[in-house]
Amino acid sequence: MSLPFAWRPAAQTEFEDAALWYETKRAGLGVDFVTEVQLVLDKIAHQPTRYPLAFADIREAPVSRFPYCVYYRAKPNRIVILAIFHSARDPRVWQARR
């Protein structure tokens, strides 16, 4: 059984902005980014505790091929996506999104 996702607006915006940025760098690269994030999301949906805790009860799942991580909180009936975050950015930004 997989759990549904609840996206924080900032996470959704980060995801869309990153995909658009990569697409402007090379045609198809934005699609590749979306595909890699979706693979991580599929793993999270089926095994919410698969990835380690990064901060309090928030887990960190790295995205293959890209310097991004998915930060999420696993709840009993859903998974809350807090951030799709570039690893070079200040983590205090996503940590403030509790």
Q: State the pLDDT at residue 17.
A: 97
Q: Is 91 exposed, middle or buried (0-12, 13-18, 19+ CB in 10 A)?
A: middle
At the top level of CATH, the class of 5-95 is alpha beta
Residue ranges covered by each domain of the chain: 5-95
Over residues 77-97, mean pLDDT:
91
Rounded Cα distance between 12 and 29, Å, is 18
Name the average pLDDT for the chain: 95
Work out the pLDDT band at 93, boundaries 50, 70, 90.
confident
Q: State the pLDDT at residue 40.
A: 98
Rounded Cα distance between 70 and 41, Å, is 8
- Predicted model pTM: 0.94
